A and B are shown apart, each in its own frame.
Chain A
Amino acid sequence: MKLTCLSSGSGYQFPPCHILEDVCGFRILLDCPLDLSALSVFSPVPPDNDFVSDGKASYNSARDCFAKEQEIQKRQKIETPLHAKDLIHDELWYKTVKNLHLWDPSSIDVVLISSVMGMLGLPFLTRAEGFSAKIYVTDAAARLARLMMEDLIAMNMEYQYFYGPRESGGPHWMRWEELELLRPELKKVVVGKDGTELGGWLPLYSSADVMDCMRKVQTLKYAETACYNGTLVLQPFSSGSEIGSCNWTIDGPKRNITWLSCSIFASAHAMNFDYGALRGRDLVLYSDKQFLPLMDEVQSNDASSTIPSNDLSSLRCCSADKDDWKKLTESLLSTDEILEKEKMDFICSCILQSVQAGGSVVIPYNRLGILLQLLEMIPVLLESLAADVPIYVISSMAAELLAFTNVIPEWASKPRQEKAYLFGLSIPSSKFELHFEVSKVSSSFWMFLQMFSGEPMFSHVDFVNKRKLHVFSAIHSPELLTTWQEPCIIFAPHWSLRLGPVVHLLRRWSGDENSLLILEDGVDPDIALLPFKPLEMKVLQCSFLPERRLPKVDCMLKLLQPKILVLPDDLKEKLDFSNPSLDSFSVLYYTEGETLSLPSSPEGTLDLEIASVLAERFAWQNLGRQDVMYTRLEGELVMEQGKFRLLPGITSADSHPSKNKEMKSDAG
Chain B
Amino acid sequence: GFSYPDTDLDLDLLQSVTVQPPAPTISLLNSWLPPSPVMGIECLVLGAGQEIGKSCVVVTINGKRIMFDCGMHLGHSDDERYPDFSLIDGSLDCVVITHFHLDHIGALPYFTEVIGYNGPIYMTYPTKALAPLMLEDFLRISVGRGVEEKFTADDISACMKKVTPIDLKQNIQVGKDLQIRAYYAGHVLGAAMVYAKVGDASMVYTGDYNMTPDRHLGAAQIDPLELDLVITESTYATTVRDSKHASERKFLKAVHDCVVAGGKVLIPTFALGRAQELFILLEDYWERMNLKVPIYFSSGLTRQANIYYKTLMSWTNQKIKDTIALQNAFNFKHGTTCSLHFSVDNFCWCRNVNCVVSFDRSQINAPGSCVLFASPGMLSGGLSLEVFKQWAPSKVNLVMLPGHCVAGTIGHKLASGKLTKLYVDNNSQIEIRCKNVNLSFSAHTDSKGIMDLLKFLSPKHVMLVHGEKPRMSILKNKIESGMGIKCYDPPNGGVVKIPSVTVHVKAQTTDSFAKSCQSPNFSLSRCSTSGAVFSTDLTSPLIVSEDRISEAILFMDRSKARGVHKEELELIGSGEGKPQVVLYGHCFPIRSDNLTKATGRLGLSGNRSWLKVLALELSHLFPQTNVQNMGDFLQVGSFQLSVCLNQSCTRRSSDVPGVHATTCTYLCCSWCMEDEKLALAIISSVRNSL
Interface centre among A430, A454, A662 (most CB of B within 10 A): A430
- Contact partner of A437 (CB less than 8 A), chosen from B294, B509, B513, B563, is B294
Chain B residues closer than 8 Å to A599, beta-carbon distance: 657-658, 687
Q: Decide if A633 touches B24 in the complex (CB within 8 Å).
A: no
Q: Tell which of B101-109, B244-252, B310-318 binds the partner.
A: B310-318
Q: Tell which of A419-427, A490-498, A517-525 binds the partner.
A: A419-427
CA A463 – CA B651 in complex, angstroms?
Answer: 70
Chain A 430-461 interface mask (CB, 8 Å, partner B; 1/0): 10111111111111110111011010110000
Residue A350 CB within 8 A of the other chain: no
Residue B342 CB within 8 A of the other chain: yes
Residue A192 CB within 8 A of the other chain: no
Q: A442 and B345 in contact (CB under 8 A), knowing A423-B132, A435-B297, A658-B531?
A: yes
CA A155 – CA B294 in complex, angstroms?
Answer: 44
Q: Decide if B25 touches A626 in the complex (CB within 8 Å).
A: yes
Residue A608 CB within 8 A of the other chain: yes
Give min CB distance, A425 to chain B, whole Å: 6
- Contact partner of B506 (CB less than 8 A), chosen from A456, A464, A607, A639, is A607
Q: Decide if B509 touches A627 in the complex (CB within 8 Å).
A: no
Give min CB distance, A507 to chain B, whole Å: 28
Chain A residues closer than 8 Å to B21, beta-carbon distance: 621-623
Q: Decide if B132 touches A436 in the complex (CB within 8 Å).
A: no
Chain B residues closer than 8 Å to A427, beta-carbon distance: 300
In chain A, residues 194-236, which have Cβ atoms closer than 8 Å to a Cβ of chain B? 220-225, 235
Q: Decide if A605 touches B510 in the complex (CB within 8 Å).
A: yes
Q: Decide if B549 touches A410 in the complex (CB within 8 Å).
A: no
Q: Decide if B549 touches A417 in the complex (CB within 8 Å).
A: no
Q: Decide if B347 touches A448 in the complex (CB within 8 Å).
A: yes
- Contact partner of B345 (CB less than 8 A), chosen from A222, A421, A443, A639, is A443
Chain B residues closer than 8 Å to A597, beta-carbon distance: 656-658
Q: Decide if A636 touches B549 in the complex (CB within 8 Å).
A: yes
**Which residue of B has the minimal Cβ distance to A600?**
B655
- Give the interface residue-count category, chain A: 35 or more
Chain B 133-157 interface mask (CB, 8 Å, partner A; 1/0): 1001100100010000000010011
Give min CB distance, A398 to chain B, whole Å: 9
Q: A471 and B330 in contact (CB under 8 A), knowing A425-B136, A436-B349, A600-B655?
A: yes
Residue B283 CB within 8 A of the other chain: yes
Give min CB distance, A126 to chain B, whole Å: 23
Chain A residues closer than 8 Å to B298, beta-carbon distance: 433-435
Chain B residues closer than 8 Å to A616, beta-carbon distance: 33
Q: A604 and B653 in contact (CB under 8 A), knowing A221-B169, A433-B383, A611-B504?
A: yes
**Which residue of B has the minimal Cβ distance to A406?**
B311
Q: Decide if B171 touches A429 in the complex (CB within 8 Å).
A: no
Chain A residues closer than 8 Å to B132, beta-carbon distance: 421, 423-425
Chain B residues closer than 8 Å to A432, beta-carbon distance: 300, 353-354, 356-357
Q: Decide if A408 touches B557 in the complex (CB within 8 Å).
A: no
Chain B residues closer than 8 Å to A224, beta-carbon distance: 167, 169-171
Q: Decide if A608 touches B347 in the complex (CB within 8 Å).
A: no
- Contact partner of B554 (CB less than 8 A), chosen from A424, A457, A618, is A618
Main secondary structure, interface of A, reads mixed
**Which residue of A has the minimal Cβ distance to B315?**
A410
Give min CB distance, B672 to chain A, whole Å: 9
Q: Tell which of B68-76, B409-417, B539-547 binds the partner.
A: B539-547
Chain A residues closer than 8 Å to B160, beta-carbon distance: 421, 423
Residue A606 CB within 8 A of the other chain: yes
Chain A residues closer than 8 Å to B345, beta-carbon distance: 442-443, 445
- Contact partner of A612 (CB less than 8 A), chosen from B331, B503, B545, B586, is B503
Give min CB distance, A296 to chain B, whole Å: 31
Residue A534 CB within 8 A of the other chain: no
Residue B173 CB within 8 A of the other chain: yes
- Contact partner of A452 (CB less than 8 A), chosen from B144, B307, B533, B653, is B307
Q: Decide if B680 touches A454 in the complex (CB within 8 Å).
A: no
Q: Tell which of A178-186, A508-516, A649-657 binds the partner.
A: A649-657
CA A656 – CA B541 in complex, angstroms?
Answer: 13
Q: Decide if B582 touches A655 in the complex (CB within 8 Å).
A: no
- Give the interface residue-count category, chain B: 35 or more
Chain B 526-552 interface mask (CB, 8 Å, partner A; 1/0): 010001010000000001011111101
Q: Decide if A605 touches B330 in the complex (CB within 8 Å).
A: no
Chain A residues closer than 8 Å to B623, beta-carbon distance: none
- Contact partner of B555 (CB less than 8 A), chosen from A417, A445, A629, is A629
**Which residue of B has the minimal Cβ distance to A663?**
B550
**Which residue of B has the minimal Cβ distance to A140?**
B314
**Which residue of B has the minimal Cβ distance to A418?**
B161
Q: Decide if A454 touches B579 in the complex (CB within 8 Å).
A: no
Residue A1 CB within 8 A of the other chain: yes
Q: Decide if B311 touches A443 in the complex (CB within 8 Å).
A: no
Chain B residues closer than 8 Å to A631, beta-carbon distance: 553-554, 556
Give min CB distance, B530 to chain A, whole Å: 10
Residue B428 CB within 8 A of the other chain: no
Residue A542 CB within 8 A of the other chain: no
Give min CB distance, A250 to chain B, whole Å: 15
Chain A residues closer than 8 Å to B299, beta-carbon distance: 433
CA A609 – CA B336 in complex, angstroms?
Answer: 57
Q: A403 and B170 in contact (CB under 8 A), knowing A423-B132, A432-B300, A437-B294?
A: no
Chain B 182-195 interface mask (CB, 8 Å, partner A; 1/0): 00000000000000
Give min CB distance, B600 to chain A, whole Å: 26
Q: Decide if A408 touches B314 in the complex (CB within 8 Å).
A: yes
In chain B, residues 653-690, which have Cβ atoms closer than 8 Å to a Cβ of chain A? 653, 655-658, 673, 680, 683-684, 687-688
Q: Decide if B15 touches A449 in the complex (CB within 8 Å).
A: no
Residue A624 CB within 8 A of the other chain: yes
**Which residue of A has the minimal Cβ distance to B504?**
A609
- Contact partner of A410 (CB less than 8 A), chosen from B314, B331, B336, B558, is B314
Q: Decide if B33 touches A622 in the complex (CB within 8 Å).
A: no
Chain B residues closer than 8 Å to A235, beta-carbon distance: 171
Give min CB distance, B333 to chain A, whole Å: 6
Q: A423 and B136 in contact (CB under 8 A), knowing A443-B345, A602-B680?
A: yes
Residue A321 CB within 8 A of the other chain: no
Q: Decide if B326 touches A403 in the complex (CB within 8 Å).
A: yes
Q: Decide if B330 touches A440 in the complex (CB within 8 Å).
A: no
Chain A residues closer than 8 Å to B625, beta-carbon distance: none
Q: Decide if A433 touches B510 in the complex (CB within 8 Å).
A: no
Q: Decide if B133 touches A424 in the complex (CB within 8 Å).
A: yes
**Which residue of B has the minimal Cβ distance to A451?**
B351
CA A616 – CA B29 in complex, angstroms?
Answer: 9
**Which residue of A has the minimal Cβ distance to B687?**
A602
Chain A residues closer than 8 Å to B359, beta-carbon distance: 435
Chain A 617-646 interface mask (CB, 8 Å, partner B; 1/0): 010111111111111111111010000111
Residue B407 CB within 8 A of the other chain: no
CA A403 – CA B311 in complex, angstroms?
Answer: 10
Chain B residues closer than 8 Å to A605, beta-carbon distance: 508-510, 562
Q: A223 and B171 in contact (CB under 8 A), knowing A425-B136, A633-B553?
A: yes
**Which residue of B has the minimal Cβ distance to A441?**
B348
Give min CB distance, A606 to chain B, whole Å: 5
CA A456 – CA B574 in complex, angstroms?
Answer: 80
Give min CB distance, B557 to chain A, whole Å: 5
Residue A254 CB within 8 A of the other chain: yes
Q: A620 and B24 in contact (CB under 8 A), knowing A436-B296, A658-B533, A659-B533?
A: yes
Q: Decide if A610 touches B504 in the complex (CB within 8 Å).
A: yes
Residue B505 CB within 8 A of the other chain: yes
Chain B residues closer than 8 Å to A406, beta-carbon distance: 311
Residue A615 CB within 8 A of the other chain: yes
- Contact partner of A438 (CB less than 8 A), chosen from B153, B297, B507, is B297
Q: Decide if B356 touches A434 in the complex (CB within 8 Å).
A: yes
Chain A residues closer than 8 Å to B32, beta-carbon distance: 615
24 contacts between A and B (CB under 8 A): A399-B331, A400-B325, A403-B330, A408-B314, A409-B311, A417-B165, A421-B128, A424-B301, A425-B156, A438-B296, A438-B297, A443-B349, A445-B332, A448-B347, A597-B656, A612-B38, A615-B34, A621-B18, A623-B21, A623-B579, A627-B25, A632-B554, A633-B553, A634-B549
Nearest 4 pairs of A and B residues by beta carbon:
A429-B300, A609-B504, A403-B329, A442-B332
